[in-house]
Structure 1
């Protein structure tokens, strides 16, 4: 019965499949994969952002997609991220993806970043936000000490997924 906003990505698509065990979700996304996964099952309601549909990801981007999701306030705002660096914070490699992710994080009571350990210590081209721009980071392995310290200073919760 809760509302969740998800950006596009392989990690958030995996999360969407895990959400199939939940009922009556309201889902807001720019990902056609996530929309197809969660629509028409378990009484879910799915809102799909419009905009230019990219052939590489099957996701909508651009100003219309950002404006669309800005109208919603959700319980959980979830993004995946391309790079996490202690100094640069969260960064990605595409301007449109970073802009969309930034908006998603601003729309949730809880703002969650999901990533795997291979993204630690990397810097992308475009900054999404600093460590104070989200409430929780979930990952598969503990981050390096400098990233763990940056999370702690910002008051962001760290969750390590069980194998």
Structure 2
């Protein structure tokens, strides 16, 4: 399956997330809600996905959750076989836990460029925003479980990576 364009779009989205995080952290208002800052600061308007966050999520909480949600993405996006569920469940569990409406809005946003994003995941609960933020060091995420369940069996055959970002072999 040729998924290099989806990978590119997800990398661009990751960049947008990091840029939004940078702009929010520059406000030096960790206890302010992201929703409030979104209304105040015109430079945040281009980050449509911020509207999907829980209304009470603070900048400090967003910072912690975004780090947990997207830290596995670079490695996952470079794997030869793209683990779609791991990418989406990481964001669902860490950034939208308990925010079903926000998750649906976020998935709709990402699916404009990556049609399969968020499909096939188990339904999440529609509880209020979980407090406090989950500690990534103590909580096992669905991504970690997914990665463990999808590790290939040990073999003596060399792992051959083809396609983006690995160039096709050239004749010698």
Shorter-normalised TM range: under 0.3
Q: Which structure has the bigger radius of gyration?
A: 2
Higher relative contact order, chain-length normalized (CA < 8 Å, sep 6+): 2
TM-score normalised by length of structure 2: 0.26
Structure 1 or 2: more strand by fraction: 1
TM-score normalised by length of structure 1: 0.27
Structure 1 or 2: more helix by fraction: 2
